[in-house]
């Protein structure tokens, strides 16, 4: 491809694919005010069903499309019926967490069934290209455009001329009024999830054919792109989602034309951040619209935290501190060191997501920032590792807060998107900024931890060091929670409108929460870098973010002791039962789903 | 400081449109220091929207809000809280997971001095540091505010004091309304906006609330009140403003307003005549 026309065509075609995902997201958001984080997983499932149909069953193309759409719709219906409907009267955070959990379960099931290796998905169409002005267009481009236009037309007819379509629109406008007028909201939800899933599945299949490759990483990418397009068009706005998608496709395509393929995602996320900052309600809705009402429900599950006597905590800490003096295996210490490192991350996340109500899905990025800063400080500037780790914490606090700040004026679900996107941006920057981060090669030979000139090399010294750091961070966080900041954070989480009416600046307190939380996460990443001695852009990945989130929900949102107990449980139990690594994410996802459904306040209760 | 006779709060041509609907339509209002004005009107008349415009939660399309002579149109709610404007919410917006004590302490947030040094840029970082280190000055301030909260809660008799450490979500509906009012008082407001403080309260509770509002008025607090219970409105108000479909349709002393034909029509004869019958029966 060479001409601008080619880039334009490519942008519009990719935009069409995004539109199929984004329209589904917009429909779902319209009727249930929920950003469906599992949309990308359905897209993934669609791609793999397409692969089975084409490669194994040798179905003709029209049948392939029908099979994929039908199978994906069934997945969507199952998600709606068993994942979300039971949570209808639950707290606002519950469905958000549920779709995140579902997404991980689906992705892992696909990965376990088909292996994580990429597969080819042939398009079944003749490989010719037609001249069109100065560019060319292939049959697959036409197919994608055709599917996009046909779906848009069908959706328009459905929403405009069928009874169920009216019900969908009525529910989107005013759910309570629609229910009072006898609209069966469950049927509306079913319809919307079915349609969204069918469109998402077909989209995944088409993308697989377009690039002739499918792999399990597609899921997260699709969710992100679909959400970006939807947010650009205005959440819940179906035509807006289409326009947002085409715009996103074009921006990416021109961006690739100027800077190269590895920058594709960067353009997508920059578009997202620009829109979030300038027009948080999307391109077509004025930013100064009144905040959505009503917000009478609470964000987190109300509960009384389980009171744990100070003495018990003291004994527990002392017990763990004395452990290395007993003949325990290296393996046990290693496992617990991992638990302490995860504990620091969980402390950070429980503050940000639990106390402050900003459910961050990109928390691993804070680890990465801390790890790279500490590693580079000690390697290139020969800073003692003890200080370098603190430098990593400070850098995570500063940079993390700066990066996340565009999302401060947004509510619940948007924060999760923004943090997810920021996580991606950080790993893209690490990958591409080779002069500093050494790009894909990673950083090796990171010196071991040292304290006042003594190297911490023996397992027990590392164990004590990480335990001590975690305990200090936990004590600090406990002190923070008992101060006026603790109640200010929690007030903003419970009702940001009332909090503002009493003089609490959202920017100020969200920043402070991210500064404090970023520091703890950065410290954890910094220590990890010196323990591993080698890191690259994949060392700190979404798996850790999700693990930390599961820990936080397990322990109880905002609960300091819960975060640590949850870390020990989720690191220790899989080791105890020798669960293979590839099944762990699946289990975290299932644990998350079960908690959201049956014990949303976690084991030790929300604080 | 503004002239003593100048109104504390003055609205001029305040207008807010939602699409084709004009929720608040060219409202003028002058509220003197120490005065209590009630706003009445049928549901959907635009009373709460008017409150939102005054407290910065929504911005007017037209018109101006002046507070103590200063133009405050379109300022953020945070700024207005710092200026001394406190409000309660119609639907009762307490912080569900916070204790009664913490809820009311949030009301005093704008008055924190020791822990919140007024410095640009580094102010927030100092606030974090001071919250963690808690030097004597910060501890003393917190202690003083806690004592103050107890004094405010004591105004509600034994309703809230025994529940001071309970989370707000566990309180009865009436007690949540009381917590809201306590929270507003903790701000030491110069202007207090009460949005249906007695909604959902039984006659005894309503009478208690009425006595409290009368007490606040007697202490010199300037109050803007939205209320449906007309008996309370008539007893407390210096003046009454009647809104219907966003417009002000009547203004004046309570007795004058309740006999105004336009007002009776706005209520379709139900509200006012119904209350009158009840009162004459009593």
Share of chain A above pLDDT 70, in %: 96
Q: What is the pLDDT of residue A293?
A: 38
Q: Which residues of A touch B83 (CB under 8 A)?
A: none
Residues of chain B numbered 223-282 and touching chain A (CB < 8 Å): none
Tell me how close the Cα of A498 comes to any Cα of chain B, in angstroms: 6
Q: Which residue of B has its CA nearest to A354?
A: B97
Q: Identify which of A416, A444, A432 has the alpha carbon closest to the alpha carbon of residue A542.
A: A416
| Residue A350 confidence (pLDDT) above 80 | yes
DSSP bridge partners of A282: none
| Residue B3 confidence (pLDDT) above 60 | no
Q: Which fold has domain A2-278?
A: ABC transporter involved in vitamin B12 uptake, BtuC (1.10.3470)
| Residue B91 forms contact with A (CB below 8 Å) | yes
Q: For the ranges A42-51, A265-274, A376-385, B243-252, which has the lowest average pLDDT?
A: A265-274
Q: Which residue of B has its CA nearest to A607?
A: B97
pLDDT in tens, A55-79: 999 999 899 999 999 999 999 999 9
Residue B55, preceding peptide bond in cis (omega within 30° of 0): no
CA distance A106 to A218: 12
pLDDT in tens, B199-221: 889 999 999 999 999 999 999 99
Q: Which residue of A has its CA nearest to B110?
A: A503
Sign of the C-alpha dihedral, residues A548, A553, A556, A558?
positive
Architecture of domain A310-598: Orthogonal Bundle (1.10)
| Residue A294 confidence (pLDDT) above 80 | no
**Is the Cβ–Cβ distance between A102 and A79 less than 8 Å?**
yes
| Residue A29 confidence (pLDDT) above 70 | yes
| Residue A340 confidence (pLDDT) above 50 | yes
**Is the Cβ–Cβ distance between B38 and B213 less than 8 Å?**
no
Q: What is the pLDDT of residue B267?
A: 73
Q: Do A501 and B128 touch (CB under 8 A)?
A: no
What are the domain boundaries of chain A? 2-278, 310-598
| Structure confidence at residue B268 as a pLDDT band (50, 70, 90) | low
Q: Tell me the whole-structure pTM to 2 decimals.
A: 0.88
First and final C-alpha spacing in chain B: 46
Tell me how close the Cα of B187 comes to any Cα of chain A, in angstroms: 8
Q: Annotate A33-83 with DSSP letters as a single string.
A: ----TTHHHHHHHHHHHHHIIIIIS---HHHHHHHHHHHHHHHHHHIIIII
Q: Which residue of A has its CA nearest to B126?
A: A512
Side-chain half-sphere CA neighbours of A72 within 13 A: 35
| Structure confidence at residue A439 as a pLDDT band (50, 70, 90) | confident
Q: Which residue has the higher pLDDT, A446 or A301?
A: A446
Q: Do A490 and B94 touch (CB under 8 A)?
A: no
**Is the Cβ–Cβ distance between A350 and A305 less than 8 Å?**
no
**Is the Cβ–Cβ distance between B194 and B178 less than 8 Å?**
no
Helices (H), B17-165: 47-55, 77-83, 100-107, 123-133, 136-154
CA distance A341 to A374: 15
| Residue A169 confidence (pLDDT) above 90 | no
Q: What is the pLDDT of residue A283?
A: 79
Plot region of A589 (φ>0 → left; ψ -120 to 50 → alpha; else → beta): alpha
Q: At what angle do helices A218-233 and A39-51 cross, to 10 degrees?
A: 130
Q: What is the pLDDT of residue A298?
A: 58
pLDDT in tens, A223-252: 888 988 988 888 778 888 899 999 999 998
| Residue A2 confidence (pLDDT) above 70 | no
Q: Which residues of A touch B140 (CB under 8 A)?
A: none
| Residue A585 confidence (pLDDT) above 70 | yes
| Residue B277 confidence (pLDDT) above 60 | no
Plot region of B121 (φ>0 → left; ψ -120 to 50 → alpha; else → beta): left
DSSP bridge partners of B64: B12
| Residue B124 forms contact with A (CB below 8 Å) | yes
Question: Measured between CB atoms, which of B77, B95, B128 is closest to A485?
Answer: B128
Q: For the ranges A361-365, A477-481, B77-81, B99-103, which has the lowest average pLDDT?
A: A361-365
Share of chain B above pLDDT 70, in %: 93
Instruction: Pick from A472, A486, A500, A503 the residue to mutate for testing the B interface (most B CBs within 10 Å).
Output: A503
pLDDT in tens, A205-229: 999 998 888 998 888 888 888 988 9
pLDDT in tens, B39-56: 999 888 999 999 999 999
Tell me how close the Cα of B151 comes to any Cα of chain A, in angstroms: 19
Plot region of B69 (φ>0 → left; ψ -120 to 50 → alpha; else → beta): left
Q: For the ranges A451-455, B207-211, B225-229, B247-251, which has the lowest average pLDDT?
A: A451-455
Q: What is the pLDDT of residue A317?
A: 95
Question: Measured between CB atoms, which of B77, B96, B107 is closest to A500?
Answer: B77
Q: Which residue of A has its CA nearest to B145?
A: A484
Tell me how close the Cα of B169 comes to any Cα of chain A, in angstroms: 7
| Residue A21 confidence (pLDDT) above 70 | yes
Q: Which residues of B touch A292 (CB under 8 A)?
A: none
Share of chain A above pLDDT 90, in %: 45
Q: What is the pLDDT of residue A299?
A: 66
Q: What is the DSSP letter of A191?
A: H
**Is the Cβ–Cβ distance between A424 and A254 less than 8 Å?**
no
Q: Identify which of B206, B216, B225 has the alpha carbon closest to the alpha carbon of residue B39.
A: B225
Tell me how close the Cα of A123 comes to any Cα of chain B, in angstroms: 48
Q: Across chain A, what does the average pLDDT equal?
A: 88
Instruction: Read off the pLDDT of each residue in A37-54 and give the average, rounded to a whole number.
Output: 93
**Is the Cβ–Cβ distance between A477 and A516 less than 8 Å?**
yes
DSSP bridge partners of B140: none
pLDDT in tens, A89-137: 787 788 888 998 999 899 999 999 998 888 888 877 777 777 766 667 7
CA distance B89 to A384: 55
**Is the Cβ–Cβ distance between B61 and A266 less than 8 Å?**
no
Q: Which residue has the higher pLDDT, A455 or A198?
A: A198
pLDDT in tens, B148-181: 999 999 999 899 999 999 999 899 989 999 999 9
| Residue A345 confidence (pLDDT) above 50 | yes
Q: Which residues of B touch A288 (CB under 8 A)?
A: 59
Among A224-228, B191-195, B273-277, the range of highest mean pLDDT: B191-195
C-alpha to C-alpha distances, A45 to A219, B82, B155, B183, nearest whole angstrom = 9, 53, 62, 51
Residues of chain B numbered 22-41 and touching chain A (CB < 8 Å): none
| Residue B198 forms contact with A (CB below 8 Å) | no
Q: Do A494 and B112 touch (CB under 8 A)?
A: no
C-alpha to C-alpha distances, B65 to A364, A376, B62, B189, nearest whole angstrom = 47, 55, 10, 17
| Residue B97 forms contact with A (CB below 8 Å) | yes
CA distance A201 to A388: 47
Q: Do B112 and A291 touch (CB under 8 A)?
A: no
Q: What is the pLDDT of residue A456?
A: 84
For chains A and B, count residue pairs whose Cβ atoms are closer than 8 Å: 113
Q: Which residues of B touch A501 (CB under 8 A)?
A: 55-57, 77, 81, 86-87, 89
Q: Identify which of A423, A395, A437 has the alpha carbon closest to the alpha carbon of residue A525.
A: A395
| Structure confidence at residue A412 as a pLDDT band (50, 70, 90) | low
| Residue A288 confidence (pLDDT) above 70 | no
Tell me how close the Cα of A357 comes to any Cα of chain B, in angstroms: 12
Tell me how close the Cα of B260 comes to any Cα of chain A, in angstroms: 34
The vertex-A381 CA angle with A379 and A382, nearest 5°, equals: 65
| Structure confidence at residue A579 as a pLDDT band (50, 70, 90) | confident
CA distance B160 to B151: 11
Q: What is the pLDDT of residue B13?
A: 95
ipTM of the complex: 0.91
Instruction: Read off the pLDDT of each residue in A518-524 and give the average, rounded to a whole number.
Output: 97
pLDDT in tens, A483-506: 999 999 999 998 888 999 999 999
Q: For the ranges A14-28, A83-97, B199-213, B245-259, which has the lowest average pLDDT?
A: A83-97
| Structure confidence at residue B5 as a pLDDT band (50, 70, 90) | low
Q: What is the pLDDT of residue A268?
A: 84
From the number of C-beta atoms within 10 Å of its C-beta (0-12, 13-18, 19+), residue A119 rates as: middle
Q: Which residues of A touch B100 (CB under 8 A)?
A: none
Element at A380 (helix H, strand E):
helix A364-380
Q: What is the pLDDT of residue A134?
A: 66
First and final C-alpha spacing in chain A: 56
Q: Across chain B, what does the average pLDDT equal?
A: 89
Q: Which residues of B touch A503 (CB under 8 A)?
A: 77-78, 81-82, 109-110, 187
CA Rg, chain B, in Å? 20
Q: Identify which of A343, A537, A529, A338 has the alpha carbon closest to the alpha carbon of residue A449.
A: A529
Helix (H, G, I), strand (E, B) or coil at A419: helix
Helix (H, G, I), strand (E, B) or coil at A174: coil
| Structure confidence at residue B280 as a pLDDT band (50, 70, 90) | very low
Q: Do A504 and B106 touch (CB under 8 A)?
A: yes
Q: Do A497 and B93 touch (CB under 8 A)?
A: yes
Q: What is the pLDDT of residue B258?
A: 83
Q: What is the pLDDT of residue A76?
A: 95
Q: Do B86 and A502 touch (CB under 8 A)?
A: yes
| Residue B102 forms contact with A (CB below 8 Å) | yes
User: How, if at all, do strands B239-244 and A450-451 pair?
Assistant: unpaired
Q: Which residue of B has its CA nearest to A558?
A: B97
Q: What is the pLDDT of residue B282?
A: 35
Instruction: Read off the pLDDT of each residue in A40-67 and give the average, rounded to a whole number.
Output: 93
Q: What is the pLDDT of residue A180?
A: 85
Instruction: Pick from A473, A493, A501 the residue to mutate for testing the B interface (most B CBs within 10 Å).
Output: A501
Question: What residues of A are in the B interface, CB distance below 8 Å?
Answer: 288, 290-291, 294, 296, 298, 300, 302, 304, 476, 479-480, 483-485, 487-488, 490-491, 493-495, 497-505, 508, 511-512, 515-516, 606-607
Q: What is the pLDDT of residue A230?
A: 87
Other Cβ atoms closer than 10 A to B89: 24
C-alpha to C-alpha distances, B53 to A34, A70, A161, A499, A545, nearest whole angstrom = 29, 50, 40, 17, 41
| Residue B234 confidence (pLDDT) above 80 | yes
C-alpha to C-alpha distances, A404 to A221, A415, B121, nearest whole angstrom = 19, 8, 18
Q: What is the DSSP letter of A118?
A: -
Tell me how close the Cα of B115 comes to any Cα of chain A, in angstroms: 9
Q: Which residue of B has its CA nearest to A290?
A: B58
Q: Do B78 and A296 touch (CB under 8 A)?
A: no
Phi, psi values for residue B23, rounded to 5° = -75, -35
Sign of the C-alpha dihedral, residues B127, B128, B131, B136?
negative
Q: Annotate B25-40 with DSSP letters as a single string.
A: EEEEEEE-TT-EEEEE
C-alpha to C-alpha distances, B276 to A600, B38, B197, B238, B261, nearest whole angstrom = 50, 18, 22, 20, 15
Sign of the C-alpha dihedral, residues B260, B265, B269, B275?
negative
DSSP bridge partners of A454: A451
Is-same-fold flag (A2-278; A310-598)?
A: yes
Q: Which residue has the higher pLDDT, B238 or A285?
A: B238
Q: Which residues of B touch A479 (CB under 8 A)?
A: 131-132, 134
CA distance A208 to A215: 9
Q: Which residue of B has its CA nearest to A293?
A: B91
Q: Which residue of B has its CA nearest to A479?
A: B132
Question: Measured between CB atoms, which of A288, A300, A503 is closest to B59?
Answer: A288
């Amino acid at each position: 491809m060479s001409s601008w026309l080619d880039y334009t065509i490519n942008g519009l075609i990719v935009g069409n694919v995004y539109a199929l995902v984004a329209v589904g997201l917009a429909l779902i958001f319209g009727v249930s005010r929920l950003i469906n984080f599992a949309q990308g997983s359905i897209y993934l499932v669609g791609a793999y069903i397409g692969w089975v149909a084409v490669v194994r069953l040798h179905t003709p193309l029209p049948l392939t499309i029908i099979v994929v759409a039908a199978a994906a719709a069934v997945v969507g219906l199952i998600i709606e019926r068993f994942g979300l409907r039971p949570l209808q009267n639950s707290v606002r955070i519950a469905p958000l967490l549920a779709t995140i959990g579902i997404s991980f379960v689906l992705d892992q099931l696909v990965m376990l069934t088909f292996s994580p290796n990429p597969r080819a998905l042939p398009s079944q169409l003749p490989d010719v290209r037609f001249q069109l002005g100065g560019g060319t267009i292939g049959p697959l481009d036409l197919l994608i455009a055709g599917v996009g236009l046909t779906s848009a037309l069908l959706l328009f007819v459905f929403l405009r001329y069928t009874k169920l379509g009216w019900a969908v629109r009525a529910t989107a406008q005013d759910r309570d009024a629609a229910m009072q007028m006898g609209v069966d909201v469950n049927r509306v939800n079913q319809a919307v999830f079915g349609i969204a899933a069918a469109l998402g599945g077909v989209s995944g299949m088409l993308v697989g054919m377009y690039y002739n490759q499918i792999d399990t990483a597609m899921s997260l990418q699709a969710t992100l792109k679909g959400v970006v397009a939807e947010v650009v068009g205005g959440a819940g706005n179906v035509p807006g989602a289409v326009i947002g998608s085409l715009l996103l496709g074009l921006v990416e395509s021109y961006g690739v034309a100027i800077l190269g393929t590895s920058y594709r995602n960067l353009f997508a996320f920059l578009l997202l951040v620009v829109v979030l900052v300038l027009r948080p309600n999307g391109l077509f809705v004025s930013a100064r619209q009144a905040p959505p009402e009503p917000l009478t429900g609470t964000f987190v599950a109300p509960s009384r935290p389980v009171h744990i006597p100070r003495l018990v905590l003291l004994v527990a800490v002392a017990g763990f501190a004395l452990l290395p003096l007993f003949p325990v295996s290296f393996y046990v210490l290693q496992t617990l060191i991992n638990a302490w490192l995860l504990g620091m991350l969980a402390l950070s996340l429980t503050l940000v997501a639990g106390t402050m109500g900003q459910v961050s899905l990109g928390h691993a990025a804070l680890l990465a920032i801390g790890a790279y800063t500490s590693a580079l400080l000690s390697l290139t500037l020969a800073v003692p590792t003890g200080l370098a780790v603190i430098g990593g914490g400070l850098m995570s606090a500063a940079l993390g807060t700066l990066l996340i700040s565009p999302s401060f004026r947004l509510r619940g679900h948007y924060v999760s998107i923004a943090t997810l996107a920021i996580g991606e941006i950080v790993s893209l920057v690490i990958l591409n900024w080779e002069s500093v981060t050494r790009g894909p090669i990673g950083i090796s030979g990171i010196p071991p931890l040292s304290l006042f000139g003594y190297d911490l090399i023996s397992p027990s010294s590392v164990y004590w060091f990480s335990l001590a750091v975690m305990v200090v961070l936990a004590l600090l966080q406990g002190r923070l929670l008992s101060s006026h900041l603790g109640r200010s954070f929690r007030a903003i989480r419970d009702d940001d409108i009332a909090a503002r009416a009493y003089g609490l600046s959202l920017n100020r307190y969200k920043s402070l929460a991210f500064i404090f939380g970023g520091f703890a996460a950065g410290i954890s990443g910094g220590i990890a870098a010196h323990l591993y001695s080698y890191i690259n852009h994949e060392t700190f990945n979404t798996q850790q973010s999700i693990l930390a989130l599961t820990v936080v929900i397990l322990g109880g949102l905002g609960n300091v002791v819960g975060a640590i107990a949850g870390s020990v449980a989720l690191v220790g139990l899989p080791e105890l039962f020798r669960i293979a690594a590839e099944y762990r994410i699946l289990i975290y996802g299932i644990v998350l789903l079960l908690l959201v459904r049956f014990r949303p306040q976690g084991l030790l209760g929300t604080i | 400081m503004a002239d003593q006779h100048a109104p504390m709060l003055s609205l001029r041509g305040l207008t807010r449109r939602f699409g084709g609907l004009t929720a608040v339509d060219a409202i003028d209002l002058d509220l003197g220091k120490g005065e209590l004005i009630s706003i009445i009107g049928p549901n959907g008349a635009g009373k709460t929207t008017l409150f939102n415009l005054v407290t910065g939660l929504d911005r007017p399309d037209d018109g101006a809000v002046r507070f103590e002579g200063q133009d405050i149109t379109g300022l953020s709610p945070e700024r207005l809280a710092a200026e001394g404007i406190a409000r309660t919410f119609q639907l009762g917006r307490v912080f569900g997971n916070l204790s009664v004590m913490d809820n009311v302490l949030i009301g005093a947030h704008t008055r924190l001095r020791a822990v919140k040094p007024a410095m640009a840029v580094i102010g927030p970082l100092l606030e974090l540091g001071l919250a963690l280190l808690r030097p004597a000055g910060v501890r003393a301030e917190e202690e003083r505010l806690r004592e103050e909260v107890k004094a405010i809660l004591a105004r509600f008799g034994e309703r809230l004091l025994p529940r001071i450490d309970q989370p707000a979500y566990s309180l009865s509906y009436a007690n949540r309304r009381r917590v809201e009012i306590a929270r507003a008082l903790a701000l030491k407001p110069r202007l207090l906006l009460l949005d249906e403080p007695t909604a959902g309260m039984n006659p005894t509770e309503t009478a208690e609330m009425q006595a409290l509002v009368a007490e606040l008025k007697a202490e010199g607090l300037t109050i803007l009140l939205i209320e449906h219970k007309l008996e309370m409105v008539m007893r407390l108000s210096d003046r009454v403003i009647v809104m219907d479909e966003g417009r002000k349709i009547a203004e004046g002393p309570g007795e004058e307003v309740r006999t105004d034909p336009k007002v009776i029509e706005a209520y379709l004869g139900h509200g006012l005549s119904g209350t009158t019958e009840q009162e004459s029966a009593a």
